[in-house]
Structure 1
């Protein structure tokens, strides 16, 4: 790492802090202007700044690992197709190719070069999740990526400030919600534009003709700090295996994690082969969540950029579900991909057991609802009178118990997205959400209890049938506990009338019936008999644990009593 004198180091630190503020304002612009609830309410996005070589220097705090860590590759693909010398001020590029850094078609990346005094000085990129991209919709039922919607290779969206209206029109006629989708794309353009304006202002303030010196400083220090954290760990190789539901058959995720002086290598050899349905994972998404899992435990305080990510190397066989090859269907890639931090944690727990949580729900339990003609398997005459809608609410189960702390309830980890308020969903679609509450006894018992899942109960507001698209896991195979802790509860999707739906697919809710979604809980940690009686009594008093479960799972004598209100 190059040496820097004290005054220069302070100057670089000020510029680094300013750069973080720039990308955070970029992300907040996206949140404030987005049309889709996924971005506006849940924060399912990413934003970042890159140097002229396409190296990510900084990312916004607002965003998700699956977007940011995979988006890092997208800028490289843009520069491979169009060199910076060929770009003009006012150009904007778009792509959503799953194998070029998005993972599935519903995530759209927009990349914008930034010019100062006529010369290119960097690039900004952002990603968001659109509610629809055509095809069969966001469903695991696809058998090839061609069925899953419109695929955009690296394409010029705006040329020297002039929008490519041909492309905007092409997108509009291929999606079910053109106002939302085009609105979101315009929001991405605005987001990058704000980032570019703030970057140029920063360079003017600090009299910078280029970002080269700052980039070298950031990347050198990030690499040095990452390696220092890694070198403080025991060296060796640790293995872990996790079985999850899959679709046509259970999926086995195998990992070997090797810690050495030059970084951490994670190899997924032995993992199950690809699925015939849309739960396959492109390698870029596998890399994104694997590296995030490592960083959470090993070096969470080190900035996320090209240099820090380069110290974590990920491989998966091309014939595996974690390195799906085109044209495999990948719409539900998050269902499997978001399990990978738990797999990594299983390896790291053997090396540093006092720092790693138990398994959690991990994959999101998003409530994706559809209604109206052509969107529901029901009588067309009935559907003709129904409102057409397509809405997604982000929701989640519980996380695994942590060393010396309970797991988090109804919390999205590792994605980090926020739950979408029921009032927002009800304002966007003709549905009534009768219940959204913690699910008692869903957190795995332990010295430290797993986080609780939640229960949602949903009905049509206009007595019409509607559909739910599910891409859920932990329905058959629960989140496992650690160090003697019990597994969390599995999830379920069913009708109030009694019918149980599979965890993946598209299902119709008849008029007059209600949909009940019970989300999984996280695994517990440590022997349940060693749980602090005061904590157990609190759980029973609040309704988190029933009196029956306290006696059964915690061997509580005497059994704590629930409060009159639970």
Structure 2
């Protein structure tokens, strides 16, 4: 291939990424649920006819994108080629064939040029409700956690499956939002297909095959070059997380070879009886993401880059089998990157950030009129983030969702969805771990029902008993806490009640510090005091 051909292919690769980015932004702009529209809890990508991911949108989360890379293969296995037609869209929320829990809806659409299948578009989004117990950890099996949608057709030849929509309406609390999101997902794939056909016609390519060959060849070469520069050997790490009612031990061993990076989770605790278990497909997604952040952060993500990382585990909480409850798989799954990065820190000393809050502090609020009052019922979902760990050479980012990458929902958008009031949402002083570089700060959030209302809420919180650890002599981040405004302590997981007139107070955890605190620049410490990141109690 000539240099001109190389440049042409590179331009088309960039164009393909812009196609899937527009695909994702379509979902972002048309979604009904605030978790998608405001927080960006979604993913989008394009795949070749064999189901190999060619490109992903930058908009989205690693938990969705990397699981979707495997999920599309399950769709192809389930739906024969002879049953695929132009205008089809397929759907599932199977936790073991999709993205790890029932609240994530994955849609896959075959892309035809004439009668020829040239690829697939896929997208995923978190919907506000799937019935059952709701979004929480209290279920004892996946059957309690909501409606299960096996891999099936949402639409065939452009005709929507009305029976599926009727079943959804009968099983969820917010049918208009949920069904609206289903149509948004389908539209997202349609936009991707339309833009792809326009691109192929413009550049004069009949299929994606030449571009796919170029993408995969260049990616393999680039990843191999990065692997060659890494130390070879085995390193391990362990971590304690809060668990549901007792701490859970996570363990990982990584092996770096010339061929790739292998991660094994042998030694991790057994599955939990509660809904914090993680299907292996989700564990793989976040383990691969952690490795890629270190090995090849600037190489576009596709099947060739992911192929360099092998993830395995015996049956345990990171490889829970059906019918384990998995609704809050993200609470443990979001700890996987810190677990893997802790092992990589031993291979690459001084180069890996400290532990952070990890798991999102999601909260699902079910608000209703208090006894003796009339008013509105609503299901409200908020995504909140603690602090990131400090980085080599830089302080940690405050109130930032690492590793998930979702956005914080604006207060105004949250209050618009139901009768709730956010009385306070501000950075939490002294929550970042001390060090040469300070850990990122958590937040303080106060939530109440509007006048005449009360609410139940599903707590999905971690780092309450097990703080984020510092790195290379840095201090631990502050642990989180959950309470009412009168000081009553509440549990970090499970459905609980907030009566009329009371406020729920969430103190989100901070990230660990990096390096010895006595090496911190005095000017940086003075700036922290000036901005209120440090109180006068900690100088």
TM bin (shorter chain): over 0.9
2 CA distance for matches of 1:231 and 1:84? Answer: 40
Tell me what 1:364 maps to. Answer: 360
> What is the alpha-carbon distance in structure 1 between the residues aligned to residue 452 and residue 507 of structure 2?
23
Q: Which moved more, 1:216-225 or 1:63-72?
A: 216-225
Report the equivalent of 1:323. 319
Q: Which moved more, 1:456-465 or 1:477-486?
A: 456-465
Distance apart, 1:386 and its partner CA: 4.1
1:256-289 C-alpha deviation (Å, 9 max, x unpaired): 0100000000001000000000000000000000
Spell out, residue by residue over 1:94-120, the C-alpha distance to the aligned partner (whole angstroms, 9 max, x if none): 000000021000000010011112211
3-state SS of 2:494 partner: strand
**2:456 maps to what in 1?**
467
Counterpart-to-counterpart distance in 1, 2:348 and 2:470: 17
User: Is the 2:49–2:118 Cα contact (8 Å) retained in structure 1?
Assistant: yes
Structure 1 residue 218 and structure 2 residue 215: aligned?
yes
1:507 Cα deviation from its structure 2 partner: 1.0
Partners in 2 of 1:168 and 1:201 — Cα distance?
A: 32
TM-score (normalizing by structure 1): 0.94
2:244 corresponds to which residue?
247
The answer to whether 1:401 aligns with 2:398 is: no
**In 2, Cα distance between equivalents of 1:248 and 1:227:** 43
Alignment partner, residue 522 of structure 2: 533
Checking the alignment, whether the CA contact within 8 Å between 1:143 and 1:328 is kept in structure 2 is yes
Post-superposition offset of 1:85? 3.4
Q: Are 2:512 and 1:516 equivalent residues in the alignment?
A: no
Q: Deviations over 1:492-548 (max 9, x none)?
A: 110011211111001111111111000000000111111111100110111101122
Offset at residue 393 of structure 1 (A):
1.3
* Per-residue deviation, 1:157: 0.7
Tell me if 1:413 matches 2:402. yes
- Could you report, residue by residue, the CA deviation over 1:319-338 in whole angstroms, capped at 9, with x for unpaired residues? x1000000000000000001
- Higher mean alpha-carbon deviation, 401-410 vs 81-90, is at 81-90
Kept in 2: contact 1:64–1:415 (CA 8 A): yes
Aligned equivalent of 1:559: none
**Does residue 1:139 correspond to 2:136, yes or no?**
yes
What displacement does 1:367 show? 2.6
| Aligned mates of 1:177, 1:86 — CA distance in 2 | 32
**Residue 474 of structure 2, aligned match among 456, 477, 485:** 485
Per-residue deviation, 1:442:
0.3
Cα distance in structure 1, aligned partners of 2:377 and 2:224? 53
Q: How does 1:63-82 map to 2 (within 5 A)?
A: 63-82=60-79
Question: How many residue pairs were aligned?
Answer: 539
CA drift of 1:387 comes to: 1.8
Q: Does 1:506 align with 2:502?
A: no
Query: 8 Å contact 1:72–1:101 — kept in the other structure?
Result: no
TM norm structure 2: 0.99
Whether 2:89 is the aligned partner of 1:100: answer: no
Contact between 2:367 and 2:449, CA under 8 Å: does it hold in 1? no
Cα offset, 1:355, TM superposition: 2.1
Residues 168-188 of structure 1, C-alpha deviation per residue, up to 9 Å, x if partnerless? 111111100000000001000
162, 166, 175: which is aligned to 2:159? 162
2:110 is aligned to 113
Maintained 8 Å contact 1:358/1:402: yes
Give how far 1:5 is off. Answer: 2.0
| Aligned equivalents of 1:416, 1:406: Cα separation in 2 | 18
Q: 2:434 aligns with which of 441, 445, 449?
A: 445
Secondary structure at 2:397 match in 1: coil
Question: Separation in 1 of the partners of 2:291 and 2:485?
Answer: 41
Flag as ranges the 4+ runs of structure 1 deviating above 6 A: none
Task: Supply the RMSD in Å over aligned alpha carbons.
Answer: 1.0
Q: Is the 8 A contact 2:426 2:444 kept in 1?
A: yes
Deviations 1:33-58 (A, max 9, x none): 00010111000000000000000000
2:16 corresponds, among 4, 15, 19, to 19
CA distance in 2, matches of 1:500, 1:385: 29
Quick check: 1:429 aligned with 2:426? no
Q: Is the 1:52–1:84 contact (alpha carbons within 8 Å) kept by the matching residues of 2?
A: no
CA contact (8 A) 2:419 2:453 kept: no
Partner of 2:376: 387
In 1, Cα distance between the equivalents of 2:101 and 2:178? 15
2:39 is aligned to 42
Matches within 5 A, 1:191-210: 191-210=188-207
